[in-house]
Amino acid sequence: MPNFAAPDGTQLFYSDEGDGTPVLALAGLTRNGSDFDYLVPHVPDIRLIRLDYRGRGRSEWSGASSYTIANETGDAIALLDFLGVEKSAILGTSRGGLNAMVMAATAKDRLLGVCLNDIGPIIEDVGIEAIKTYLGRNPAEKTFEKAAEMRAGLMKGFENVPSDRWATEVRKHYRMTDSGLAINYDPGLRDAVLASGTTLAPDLWPMFDALDGLPIALIRGENSDILSKSTADEMSRRRPDMIRAEVRGRGHVPFLDESEALDAVHKWLELFP
C-alpha cells in the first residue's frame, strides 16, 4: 500500500496512476482520494495523484490539533516532493479547493493551474451548518443499504441521481464494524473544525486573487449551499478567463462525471502542454 511520511512523520496514503500532466486531486473535508473514481475513466491522458488527508481514508490519524489547512497544504507539497514532481495542476473539491488557493498564495511556483470544485472565497453559513449536523458522527443506520437510502434523502439539491450511485457513495463514507457502520475518518475532525471556525481568515479573496496568472476553472453545483451564484459571479468578474461550469441538478458537491463538469475539466486540461 503506497504511503509516505508527512513532515511530522504521519503516514499518509496516496495513489499515483497514469502518464501526462500531473494533476494532484485533493478531496473534501471528510472525504478521500476515492472521490475521484468517477472522473478517472474520463481523463486517461493525465497523471492523477490522489492524497488521503491525515486522519481520513487510509491515512494515519494524527489528532484534532493537526487537522489544519496549513498541515494539509504542507502534506500536499511533501507528496509532490516525495514523487519528484516539480509542478502540478490541482483539482480541489471543497476543502481541497481551499488548500489549492492557500498553495497558490504560499507555493505558487509548484502549481500549473487550479480547478475548483464547488468552492470559493466565501463559504455560505447554511452549508457549514449542514455539515456540522453529521461531521464526526457515525450514522444511525446499521447497513449500507439503509445508509444509501438515508444519503439520498440527506443530500439536498441532488436530482435524478440513480440509487446505485448512493450505494457506491456510502461505501466511500463508511466502513462496517461489529456494531454497525462507522465513518472512515477520525471523529476528532469535528473538534478541529469547530475550534477553527468556518474561515481561514477574515477575507479569503486575496487567496483567490493569488491564482492570478494560473489557468483556472470553476465547477459549481447549481443548487450548492456552500458556493453561492453571487460568489461565483464575482470570481468570474475577477477572472474573466476562468473556465466555468454550472452543473444542473447538483448540490455540494458535483460528482465530476456530469457532462458540464467534464466539459470544464477537459477545457482546463487542454491549457497545459
Q: What is the pLDDT of residues 125-141, one digit of tens each?
A: 999 999 999 999 999 99
User: Is residue 146 in a domain?
Assistant: no
- Kind of pairing between the strands at 3-5 and 180-183: unpaired
Q: Which residue is listed with cell 504511503?
A: 3
Cα 219 to chain centroid distance, Å, stands at 12
Residue 259: give its domain's CATH number: 3.40.50.1820
- Distance of alpha carbon 263 from alpha carbon 257, whole angstroms: 9
Q: What is the pLDDT of residue 187?
A: 97
Q: What is the pLDDT of residue 264?
A: 98
Closest CA to 40 of 271, 270, 265: 265
Cα 15 to Cα 11, 202, 218: the distances in Å are 13, 34, 24
- Kind of pairing between the strands at 46-51 and 21-26: parallel
User: Is residue 176 in a domain?
Assistant: no
User: Is residue 166 in a domain?
Assistant: no
Cβ(178)–Cβ(268) below 8 Å: no
User: Is residue 258 in a domain?
Assistant: yes
| Half-sphere exposure at residue 117, Cβ-oriented, CA atoms within 13 angstroms | 28
Q: Which residue is listed with cell 503516514?
A: 11
- Distance of alpha carbon 209 from alpha carbon 235, whole angstroms: 9
- Supply 211's cell numbers: 491564482
- Supply 50's cell numbers: 490522489
User: Is residue 145 in a domain?
Assistant: no
Cβ(126)–Cβ(198) below 8 Å: no
**Residue spans of the chain under pLDDT 70:** 1, 197-202
pLDDT in tens, 175-205: 999 989 999 999 999 999 998 765 555 689 9
Neighbours of 141 (CB within 10 A): 17
User: Is residue 259 in a domain?
Assistant: yes
User: Is residue 147 in a domain?
Assistant: no
Cβ(118)–Cβ(227) below 8 Å: yes
Q: Tell me, what amino acid is at 244? A: R
Domain count, the chain: 1
Domain span at residue 118 reads 3-124+200-269
Q: What is the pLDDT of residue 260?
A: 98
Q: What is the pLDDT of residue 226?
A: 96
Q: What is the pLDDT of residue 200?
A: 53
Q: Hey, which residues does 115 pair with through a beta bridge? A: 91, 217
Q: What is the pLDDT of residue 156?
A: 85
Q: What is the pLDDT of residue 1?
A: 67
Describe the crossing of helices 188-196 and 125-132 by its angle, rounded to 10 degrees.
150
- Distance of alpha carbon 54 from alpha carbon 253, whole angstroms: 21
Q: What is the pLDDT of residue 136?
A: 96
The beta strands (E) that lie in 6-76 are given as 11-17, 21-26, 46-51
For a pLDDT cut of 90, what percent of the chain falls above it?
92
- Distance of alpha carbon 8 from alpha carbon 215, whole angstroms: 32
Q: What is the pLDDT of residue 103?
A: 98
Cβ(222)–Cβ(112) below 8 Å: no
User: Is residue 167 in a domain?
Assistant: no
pLDDT in tens, 142-164: 999 999 999 998 888 999 999 99
